[in-house]
Amino acid sequence: MEVFYVDSRAVVLNPEKWYQPSLSLVNKLRNLIDESGILEDIQKGDIVAVKTHFGDRGTTKTLRSVYARAIVEKVIEAGGRPFVTETT
């Protein structure tokens, strides 16, 4: 079994350029999905749940929508039919 991770730090490669999309966590997530092969078992037309957590009163541990969207886009790219669900 392989373990994949993403460093959340952004090492600025070009300080003169204020926006470097390759350093964003969303792009790092997309690359992680591609490199890990986690979506390889999805076949065309498969219905795929994207589990989220919208949070509870007083908590901050939620999945931000930009990450859910990136995952949904990757599932679509793999041929799946994603839906977002919350089970709390």
**Does 3 score more than 80 pLDDT?**
yes
Q: What pLDDT, on a 0 to 100 scale, did the predictor assign at position 40?
A: 96
Centre a 10 Å sphere on the Cβ of residue 28 and count the other Cβ atoms it contains.
17
Question: Tens of pLDDT along 18-64?
Answer: 777 778 899 999 999 999 999 999 999 999 999 988 777 877 777 88
Question: Tens of pLDDT along 56-85?
Answer: 787 777 788 899 999 999 999 999 999 999
Helix (H) or strand (E) holding 47: strand 47-52
